[in-house]
Amino acid sequence: MDYAYYPGCSLESTGVSYHKSIVEVFRALGLGLHEIEDWNCCGATAYMSVKETVSFAISARNLAIAERMGKGDIVAPCSACYLVLAKTRRFLMERPELKSKVDEALAAAGLTLKCKCAVRHPLEVLVSDLGIEAIAAKAKRRLTGHRYACYYGCQMVRPERYFEEDREFPMAMDDLMAALGAEEVEFPLKVRCCGASQMVTNEEVGLDLVQSLLECAHARGASAIVTTCPMCQYNLELYQDKISSRAGKDLHIPVLYFTQPLGLALGCDPQALGLQHHTVPLPQEALILEEV
Amino acid sequence: MSESSEFAEDLHRKILETEAGRDLPRCFACGTCSSGCPVHEQRPEFDPRKIIRSVLMGLESELFDSGVIWLCSTCYTCLERCPQEVGCAQIITELRNAAAADGRAPEAFRMQMEALRQFGRVYEIEDFDNRRRQKMGLAVLDSHANIEPLLTDEREGE
């Protein structure tokens, strides 16, 4: 199976371990990832807030290049990119007026767009196209003793409806981790907002939101939080010193991408999965896993 | 009519004409949006129900002045739970677009737009990044993705 790959800006900077682990995991599972040539910003944050029509136009450029490459559906690991690309595609299919305006802009860039390639999140791709059982069958190691709080955040489950999951209580990642041998952790805040770009524009609001998530993960006895989005991961990991000192208690906990424990189970090298890049690392003993 | 009230009326009309604006009259003010909003829980002054009421009453300028529209983190819980499928997140995007057109976007947004115009991405892809990409088996990326032809709509607005 082949896919067009849209890494997005975050995966080239703060989310580099997500970038590495996705490439590694897709390779280990025998799935082809073909990066969209010369991709640009998805149009999230700034343009969406400042001038949404421009965000649709620059987003559409990525959709058009992926379509020209003809490698299949687009895999977008960042939840914000995923949402903006998927929303752009839906709006362009539903609103002919917007479509003709964007088509004009695309024509100036020598591109055309028929909206043929669906936009999908890698978690959904793995769970739907391969299936949890087939993935678990390829595992070389068991995640025994790992207790993951599976955190889905907002934009992967809301508001677009392409992920056939309960949007208030998704289970795909929990089920995948359990199939790989991890202990299940009930994490009721699994779809509650991490604060997103509030950390830049209104830091105190962002810190409050992240603190409630870290407190919940600790209260539930998680050994790590597992995420599906580079912004969630960044917010949850990088402010732990500050949040621990304002809360007056130690709230440190490793925050991983779901592709990292999955990669460990598939027998990938921890360095190739980018585990060395984290500021709150997984303890060394957590990397010693029993063979299947 | 004073200049400020003319601005307010014009803005009100434009907001109600948007797709999200046309949904607003369906709101029966049940407050499900506010009760589920994680930002409202931390900052009571950010109140989605009140924002929807304010827009329906033509008080958009007050929302601009108080700055509350920049507190939404677009998590879409309001839309998910709204029994009338109104939500607040999309109308806030419209309000932000209108505020930005009036020169009132926060500095952080302006800086990010500058980077986007320059590199086509939020960050510049440098040699260091490309060396890492090659080790991962990925192609070298040009430091600048050309989105210039797609910014026509932005130029129209200037």
B158 — pLDDT class (breaks 50, 70, 90): very low
Two structure tokens written together for B116: 């986007």
Give the C-alpha separation, A158 to A258, whole Å. 19
Cα angle A95-A100-A103, degrees, rounded to a multiple of 5: 120
**Domain-by-domain residue ranges, chain B?**
3-101, 107-157
Tell me whether A73 touches chain B (CB under 8 Å). Answer: no
Closest CA to A17 of A287, A195, A290, A276: A276
Interface contact flag, B136 A20, Cβ < 8 Å: yes
Tell me whether B140 touches chain A (CB under 8 Å). Answer: no
Interface contact flag, B138 A35, Cβ < 8 Å: yes
Which superfamily, per CATH, for B3-101? Alpha-helical ferredoxin (1.10.1060.10)
Domains and their CATH numbers in chain A: 2-120 (1.20.1050.140), 139-291 (3.40.50.11810)
Q: Mean pLDDT in chain B? A: 90
> In Å, how far are A215, A236, A238, B83, B142 from A189, measured between CA atoms?
10, 13, 19, 22, 40
Give the C-alpha separation, B63 to A80, whole Å. 25
> Residue-wise pLDDT tens for chain A (292 aa)?
999 999 999 999 999 999 999 999 999 999 999 999 999 999 876 788 888 888 899 999 999 999 999 999 999 999 999 999 999 999 999 999 999 999 999 999 999 999 999 999 999 999 999 999 999 999 999 999 999 999 999 988 888 877 778 889 999 999 999 999 999 999 999 999 998 888 888 899 999 999 999 999 999 999 999 999 999 999 999 999 999 999 999 999 999 999 999 999 999 999 999 999 999 999 999 999 999 9
Interface contact flag, B100 A196, Cβ < 8 Å: no
Give pLDDT, residue B157. Answer: 44
Two structure tokens written together for B59: 């008080």
| Contacts B112 to A, Cβ<8 Å | 45-46
Asked if B62 and B36 touch (Cβ cutoff 8 Å), the reply is no
Helix (H) or strand (E) run with residue A42 in it: none
Interface contact flag, B150 A205, Cβ < 8 Å: no
Nearest CA in chain B to A22: B136
Two structure tokens written together for B1: 């009519």
Cα angle A169-A175-A177, degrees, rounded to a multiple of 5: 120
Interface contact flag, A49 B105, Cβ < 8 Å: yes
Two structure tokens written together for B77: 């819980």
Give pLDDT, residue A43. Answer: 84
Sheet containing strand A119-120, edge to edge, reads A32-35, A2-5, A74-75, A119-120
User: Over the stretch B2-55, which tens digit does the pLDDT of each residue have?
Assistant: 677 888 889 999 999 998 999 999 999 999 999 999 999 999 999 999 999 999
**Highest mean pLDDT: which of A177-181, B69-73, B98-102?**
A177-181
Closest CA to A236 of A193, A197, A174, A194: A194
Give pLDDT, residue B154. Answer: 60
Give pLDDT, residue B156. Answer: 53
Give pLDDT, residue B153. Answer: 58
Nearest CA in chain A to B125: A12
H helix runs in chain A, sequence order = 16-28, 46-50, 52-69, 79-94, 96-108, 122-125, 132-137, 172-179, 198-201, 203-219, 230-238, 240-247, 259-265
Two structure tokens written together for B133: 């990409």
State the smallest CA–CA distance between residue B1 and chain A in angstroms.
29
Interface contact flag, B96 A57, Cβ < 8 Å: no
Indicate whether B135 pLDDT > 60.
Answer: yes
Give the C-alpha separation, B137 to B123, whole Å. 21
Strands (E), B28-139: none
State the angle between helix axes of A52-69 and A79-94 in degrees (0 to 180), rounded to the nearest 10. Answer: 90
- A·B CB contacts under 8 A: 149
Assembly ipTM: 0.88
Give the C-alpha separation, B51 to B42, whole Å. 17
Give the C-alpha separation, A29 to A43, whole Å. 30
> In Å, how far are A75, A117, A134, A174, A177 from A66, measured between CA atoms?
10, 7, 28, 31, 31
Nearest CA in chain B to A161: B80
Asked if A165 and A172 touch (Cβ cutoff 8 Å), the reply is yes
Interface contact flag, B93 A48, Cβ < 8 Å: yes
| A99 CA to centre of own chain | 28
Give pLDDT, residue A75. Answer: 98
Nearest CA in chain A to B92: A49
